[in-house]
Amino acid sequence: MSKIKSLEIKIGLEVHCQLTNLKTKLFCSCSSDYRGKEPNTLICPICMGMPGTLPVLNEKALEDAIMVALALNSKISERMLFFRKNYFYPDMPKNFQISQYDKAGGVPFALGGYIQINGKKVRIRRIQLEEDPGKLSYDGTIESSNHTLVDYNRAGIALIEIVTEPDMETPKEARLFLEKLRSILEHLNVSDGSLEGSMRCDANISLKGGKRVEVKNISSFKEVERALNFEITRQKNLVLRGMVIGQETRHWDETRRITVSLRMKEEEQDYRYFPEPDLVPIIIPRERIKEIEQKMPELPDERRKRFIEQYNLSPQSAEILTRSKAMADFFEESVKIYGNPKEISNWMIGELSSYLNEKSIEIDELTLTSKQLVDLIKLIDEGVISRKMAKSVLQDMLLTGKMAGDIVKEKGLEKILDKEYIGSIVEKILKENPQAVKDAIFDKKAMNYLMGQLMKKTEGKIDPKMASEVLRKRLSELAKFITP
């Protein structure tokens, strides 16, 4: 087992991100709004690769790609070439993909760069601009399906492929990298990670001494972590049994949560790369890059630093809030309404994030608004309800969409603030617990028991501060008549 524990794990990612802020596909005028549309209706001779057609590059796609490269600290090529990547899959209507290549005279869109996660730099090898293939649908799993359906509406959608170096050592690091990348793309407003299929990932993983295994088309960050955990265990078991880990491509079956072998991994020569003859080399002027750089919005790292300085948040809280643009936006909207950033941050990172994780949803999928969360926090600050009650109220708000004040009134949860009424409850508790009264008079810590009985008697509705004052005063009065 010590031999297995010492095996070095290397993880690299190939992330395919759709540029979702475009109206048309990468090389033709077909609409890019393909989700939910009738299959095979958003296609034309160009994206289907009919003879005699000529692709034309979408200029906005190039501008969006420039922003991504700048945000990822990459060096943008002055001269960019497109290549044909030849392979014969049913989801590829042309039987080749217009992509890019970093050898044999090929120049990818950008080289180098990095993303910082938990103080560690994950290096980027290259960024490519390419077209998306179509979409395959199976009747069940890829192994059990009796047939395969193909929809070419997605074929030709603009993609950027971001290839990392194998710098990640754990599945958790891979997930953090993807979360950070998604936040960057959303802050740039070039890609919406909440859209189905907008970010897909191939994970390359190897153990020391073994060949690289690629796990294809993993659909979510959680699934990336699960797939890598499974693959590490599978490969370690092979090593334990004295078997060789071969280079292959595997598919992640989300239903069974296992990887299954698809084929032996292709080598570069299998793709028969050659320059795309229908697209001339693209010259990217330095002046144009500078213009785009000057218009760049605030990015997650900058926003995190600002949250620490402007709102006096801890680095950890600021990090969590800026992992998602929607989360950071929700926070700032709430602070504009009610200037209590620390309390808003605590509720968002605590109760709200727990609910989101439990339901596997994003904050912008909630019916809850910033104003509703603020109204709940105000009720706590004003002493109307306790923090414990507020947690229960929040759950009702998330389920019903009602305002906090309405739920408090409907359920009669208002905190008891009537001093005379509190006094009468204190008297009842003192009569029911004579020994505890004597203990509390001579040991202040013993008063906690009586406070607990008060909270229990009033179902947590009594104001703790006021109840404590009344109880202390009454015990002080009784102390005159009780001897040790």
pLDDT for the residue numbered 4: 43
Reduce the DSSP state of residue 197 to 3 states and report it: coil
pLDDT for the residue numbered 353: 94
C-alpha distance from residue 416 to each of 44, 314, 323, 454, 455 (Å): 69, 34, 40, 11, 11
- Contact by Cβ (8 Å): 307, 322: yes
Q: What is the mean pLDDT of residues 22-50?
A: 96
Measure the CA–CA gap between 334 and 339, rounded to whole angstroms: 8
Quick one: tokens of 98?
């217009």
Percent of the chain with pLDDT over 70: 95
pLDDT for the residue numbered 370: 96
Percent of the chain with pLDDT over 90: 62
Quick one: tokens of 368?
């809850």
Measure the CA angle with vertex 151, ends 145 and 156; round to 5°.
Answer: 135
End-to-end CA distance of the chain: 64
Q: Is the pLDDT of residue 220 over 80?
A: yes
pLDDT for the residue numbered 265: 56
SS (H, E, C) 366-388: CCCCHHHHHHHHHHHHCCCCCHH
pLDDT for the residue numbered 482: 67
C-alpha distance from residue 83 to each of 60, 65, 79, 102, 193 (Å): 20, 17, 13, 10, 27
pLDDT for the residue numbered 168: 96
pLDDT tens-digit series, residues 230-274: 999 999 998 888 888 888 899 998 888 999 988 765 566 678 889
Domains, the chain, in order of start with CATH, read 2-291 (no CATH), 297-411 (no CATH), 419-481 (1.10.10)
Higher pLDDT, 315 or 452: 315
Quick one: tokens of 284?
């990217």
> pTM for this one?
0.84
- Contact by Cβ (8 Å): 474, 468: no
pLDDT for the residue numbered 3: 44
pLDDT tens-digit series, residues 283-320: 999 999 999 999 999 999 999 999 999 999 999 999 99
pLDDT for the residue numbered 348: 97
pLDDT for the residue numbered 388: 82
Q: For the chain, what's the residue count? A: 484
Look over the chain and give the mean of its residue pLDDT values, rounded to a whole number: 89
One-letter amino acid identity for 92?
Answer: M
Q: What is the mean pLDDT of residues 196-206?
A: 92
Confidence category of residue 161, pLDDT binned at 50, 70, 90: very high
Confidence category of residue 484, pLDDT binned at 50, 70, 90: low
Measure the CA–CA gap between 226 and 234, rounded to whole angstroms: 12
- Contact by Cβ (8 Å): 276, 83: yes
pLDDT tens-digit series, residues 92-141: 999 999 999 887 667 789 999 999 998 899 999 999 999 999 998 888 77
Measure the CA angle with vertex 123, ends 117 and 125; round to 5°.
Answer: 145
Confidence category of residue 460, pLDDT binned at 50, 70, 90: confident
Measure the CA–CA gap between 355 and 334, rounded to whole angstroms: 18
Point out the least confidently predicted range of 65-74, 110-119, 134-143, 153-162. Answer: 134-143
Tally the C-alpha atoms within 13 A of residue 439's C-alpha that lie toward its C-beta.
10
Residue that the structure tokens 């179509």 belong to:
134
For residue 253, what is the enclosing H or E element?
A: strand 248-253
Measure the CA–CA gap between 303 and 123, rounded to whole angstroms: 22
Higher pLDDT, 177 or 264: 177
Quick one: tokens of 206?
């190897």
Q: Is the pLDDT of residue 86 over 50?
A: yes
